[in-house]
Amino acid sequence: MTPFERRTRACQQRLRDHGATAAVLFPSRNLQYTTGFVEEPSERPLFFIVPAEGDPVFVVPELYGQQVRAETWVSDVRTWGDDDDPLALTEAVVSELSIETHESRLLVDDTMWAQFTQALHALFPTATFGLASAVLGPLRCRKDDAEIEALREAAAITDQVVASIRGLGSDAIGMTETELAADIETRLEAAGGTGVSFEPTIAAGPNGAKPHHGHGEREIRAGEPVVLDFGTRASGYPSDQTRTFVFGGEPATTVTAVHEVVRNAQAAAIEAVEPGVAAGAVDSAAREVVESAGYGEQFIHRTGHGVGLEVHEEPYIVADNDRSLEPGMVFSVEPGVYVPGEFGVRIEDLVIVTDEGCERLNHADRGWKCE
Ligand code: CO
């Protein structure tokens, strides 16, 4: 059984547990998760209908028929041509699957376009509707072996590029943030990554005080810290890592002091990760270190976010989140301190919750020195 089929079968078990009749997916991360099929949504209806019992059915535009048959584990693929009525086909499939449309409960993909959810409402007026994340969210939160392997691979590629960027040392001085970002993208591809998992943040000097700065024309100067937050994808899964470097020259003592505080906060948070601990407790562990050093007001975001097919997903490592951590969850631990007009420091690694505690997926040196 492929991982995709295993996940779909687990989804069906959850549909039964929830008293739901079927899930109807649409081109999305949920569809990628259950079938491996990746496509942008379009005006042509494309549904993956997963009944609580029995085998799922793909309803796809004819032009995707061969692709879906060749690339997914799903054997029942129904196609419609541009002169057919796709909703009539959908209705026929639903009645064939004996998904009771009277008093049935259909879970639609969270990101399905409204034009399609409205069409489903019209087709099944007596059904009640919910979101597919009710059954797929808890599954996607705990990564399976294939996902962990992909996340490890993406993290290893990023580690390698972080080390090579550190190796630039004072050669990076004078480069613009955007030049460095382009260089990083080239290195990620050369190391085996697929593109970037998000627009890199390369934030020099005062730009570092804006956590999601992106990159611009500012040149990197001697003695100033640069926040480098970037990632790539491997086998569909992203990496997300941050280091704060001083490429050359002597940084101010506040910079090195803040860097140490952030590093200690990150270590304390990672130390706190184990099954059964609330996600909010990991946030507190980081925040306590930053607060006791006097920079609490300048730690202006949550400590982390889950990472899977999406770069930001459950579980969120945020104050008051009492959700218990479970083995197989993967998330970032990324405290930061931001001094407006001056500089910022953030250090981020991904961790996976294990039976005993956690394991970091990133291992690249966390220090500020580049020589
Ligand atoms: Co992140």
pLDDT of 96 reads 86
pLDDT tens-place string over residues 135-169: 999 999 999 999 999 999 999 999 999 999 999 99
Q: How far is the CA of 2 from the centre of ligand 1 (A)?
A: 30
> Beta partners for 278?
324
Query: How big is the CA angle at 272 (ends 268 and 277), to the nearest 5 degrees?
Result: 155
Report the pLDDT averaged over residues 296-320.
97
Q: How far is the CA of 145 from the centre of ligand 1 (A)?
A: 22
pLDDT of 95 reads 85
* pLDDT bucket at 268, cuts 50 / 70 / 90: very high
pLDDT tens-place string over residues 186-229: 999 999 999 999 999 999 999 999 999 999 999 999 999 999 99
Report the pLDDT averaged over residues 82-98.
90
Q: Strand, coil or helix: what is 334?
A: coil
pLDDT of 97 reads 83
- Picking from 337, 333, 287, the residue whose alpha carbon sits closest to that of residue 306 is 333
DSSP-derived secondary structure for 116-169: HHHHHHHH-TT-EEEETHHHHHHHHHS--HHHHHHHHHHHHHHHHHHHHHHTTG
* pLDDT bucket at 339, cuts 50 / 70 / 90: very high
In this structure, what is the dihedral angle of CA atoms 323, 328, 329, 335, given to the nearest 10 degrees? 110
Q: How far is the CA of 120 from the centre of ligand 1 (A)?
A: 36
Q: Which residues in 216-247 are b (16+ Cβ under 10 Å) and which e?
A: eebebeeebbbbbbbbbbbebbbbbbbbbbbb
Q: Which residues in 180-201 are b (16+ Cβ under 10 Å) and which e?
A: bbebbbebbeebebbebbbebb
Contact assessment for residue 316 and residue 272, using Cβ atoms and an 8 Å cutoff: no
Distance between CA atoms of residues 186 and 107, nearest Å: 41
Q: Strand, coil or helix: what is 292?
A: helix
Contact assessment for residue 34 and residue 27, using Cβ atoms and an 8 Å cutoff: no
Q: How far is the CA of 304 from the centre of ligand 1 (A)?
A: 6
Q: Strand, coil or helix: what is 193?
A: coil
Q: What are phi and psi of 50, to 5 degrees?
A: -110, 105
Q: How far is the CA of 303 from the centre of ligand 1 (A)?
A: 9
Distance between CA atoms of residues 191 and 159, nearest Å: 10
Distance between CA atoms of residues 267 and 347, nearest Å: 10
pLDDT tens-place string over residues 40-72: 999 999 999 999 999 999 999 999 999 999 999
Q: Strand, coil or helix: what is 337?
A: strand
Q: How far is the CA of 142 from the centre of ligand 1 (A)?
A: 18
Query: Which domains are seen in the chain, by residue range?
Result: 3-140 (3.40.350.10), 142-360 (3.90.230.10)
Q: How far is the CA of 39 from the centre of ligand 1 (A)?
A: 25
Q: What is the pTM of this model?
A: 0.93
Strands (DSSP E) along the chain, which ranges? 22-25, 47-51, 57-61, 77-80, 105-108, 128-131, 201-204, 225-230, 233-234, 237-238, 241-246, 304-306, 313-317, 330-333, 336-339, 343-346, 349-353, 358-360
> Beta partners for 238?
233
Q: Strand, coil or helix: what is 189?
A: helix
Distance between CA atoms of residues 68 and 132, nearest Å: 21
Q: How far is the CA of 305 from the centre of ligand 1 (A)?
A: 7
pLDDT of 13 reads 97
Q: How far is the CA of 102 from the centre of ligand 1 (A)?
A: 44
Q: How far is the CA of 230 from the centre of ligand 1 (A)?
A: 8
Q: How far is the CA of 196 from the centre of ligand 1 (A)?
A: 13
Q: How far is the CA of 348 from the centre of ligand 1 (A)?
A: 7
DSSP-derived secondary structure for 201-215: EEEEGGGGGSTT---
Q: How far is the CA of 333 from the centre of ligand 1 (A)?
A: 8
* pLDDT bucket at 94, cuts 50 / 70 / 90: confident
| Per-residue pLDDT at 99 exceeds 70 | yes
* pLDDT bucket at 103, cuts 50 / 70 / 90: confident
Q: How far is the CA of 288 from the centre of ligand 1 (A)?
A: 20
| Per-residue pLDDT at 98 exceeds 90 | no
Burial environment of residue 18 by CB neighbours within 10 A (0 to 12, 13 to 18, 19 or more): middle
The angle, 0 to 180 degrees and rounded to 10, between the axes of the packed helices 145-166 and 177-190 is: 130
Q: How far is the CA of 1 from the centre of ligand 1 (A)?
A: 33
Q: How far is CA 275 from the centre of its chain?
A: 20
* pLDDT bucket at 100, cuts 50 / 70 / 90: low
pLDDT tens-place string over residues 270-282: 999 999 999 999 9
In the block, residue with structure tokens 């197989």: 328
Q: How far is the CA of 332 from the centre of ligand 1 (A)?
A: 6
